[in-house]
Structure 1
Amino acid sequence: MRAVVQRVDGAKVSVVTDAGTETVGEIVGEGLCVLVGVTHEDTAEKAGQLARKLWSLRILEGEKSCSDVNAPLLVISQFTLYGDARKGRRPTWNAAAPGPVAEPLVDEVVARLRELGATVETGRFGADMRVSLTNHGPFTVQLEM
């Protein structure tokens, strides 16, 4: 399981539909925007580890964590985190888990965060999404579980 974590001063994700653009998740103020990728070997246990790490990661202002200041998280699935562009000009997605495997694991990360007490907003799995955010710092880290 792979995550790209950005410290933000607000973030939102919108979904593009035939009827227009709909905001499906938004956090206001200090928090984390988290892009989550799932590979074939990932498990619910790894999803729990990632949730605990995200909740306690001390990267907010003053070396605080989301749990310290009750900061919200915006969690968005992103299979392209497992893209491989080392050969040729087109990335391959072989390392990314298929939707039926990945979606429940991303949902598990969200559920575990909420069990820990986090306020969590999400994108919509498999949708054509637009993410906008204000990266505070800029501050971005990558996590591997």
Structure 2
Amino acid sequence: MRAVVQKTLKSSVTSDGVLAGQAGSGLTVLLGVSVKDTDDDVRYLADKIVHLRIFEDDQGKLNHSLLDEGGEMLVISQFTLYGDARHGRRPSYIEAARPEQAEALYNQFVDAVRAFGVPVATGRFRTHMVVSLENDGPVTILLDSQKTF
């Protein structure tokens, strides 16, 4: 799984012109699912994101997590995070999971984050969405559950 995690003051998503979800201060997460992803990737990424220390403490250091802050999360499915544009000009999405697998793991991710007590809003899977957000900091972190260093 890949995630673009953005610390936001507020965020919202509309689908087909209708407000689908919105979150207050917290995180906006663009989430991509690959053909290789499993339940382990869901658990790893949900735990990593809710505990990621990217919120300021009393001294202005990035030392608090979403859980420490009591923040909210907006999660948007984003298969294009697996777009491979190394060859040619049109990205290949061969590494992105098929919609059925992706939606199931996306929903598991949302449930895993909610299990930590985090209020989670979502978009609508397999629709055209317009995402609006106020990036705070800005702080943007890229995570990949399959990446080893």
Alignment partners' CA distance in 1, 2:101 and 2:80: 15
In the alignment, residue 23 of structure 2 is paired with which amino acid?
A: I
Unaligned runs of 5+ in 2: 58-62
1:41 alignment partner, one of 31, 36, 48: 36
Tell me how far 1:70 sits from its aligned partner. 1.1
Alignment partners' CA distance in 2, 1:140 and 1:77: 17
Residue pairs, 1:1-145, within 5 angstroms: 1-16=1-16, 21-28=17-24, 30-62=25-57, 63-145=63-145
SS of structure 2 residue aligned to 1:13:
strand
Tell me how far 1:41 sits from its aligned partner. 0.9
Alignment partners' CA distance in 2, 1:42 and 1:122: 20
SS of structure 1 residue aligned to 2:94:
coil
Higher mean displacement: 2-11 or 58-67 = 58-67
Runs of 4+ in 1 over 6 A off after TM superposition: none
SS of structure 1 residue aligned to 2:113:
helix
Alignment partners' CA distance in 2, 1:24 and 1:94: 28
Unaligned runs of 5+ in 1: none
Alignment partners' CA distance in 1, 2:93 and 2:49: 25
Alignment partners' CA distance in 2, 1:109 and 1:32: 14
SS of structure 2 residue aligned to 1:107:
helix
TM-score scaled by structure 1?
0.94
> What are the superposed Cα offsets for residues 1-55 of structure 1, whole Å, 9 maximum, x if unpaired?
1000001010001001xxxx11111012x20000000101101121011111111
Q: Alignment identity in percent?
A: 46
CA RMSD of aligned residues (A): 0.8
In the alignment, residue 21 of structure 2 is paired with which amino acid?
A: G
TM-score scaled by structure 2?
0.91
Alignment partners' CA distance in 2, 1:139 and 1:55: 15
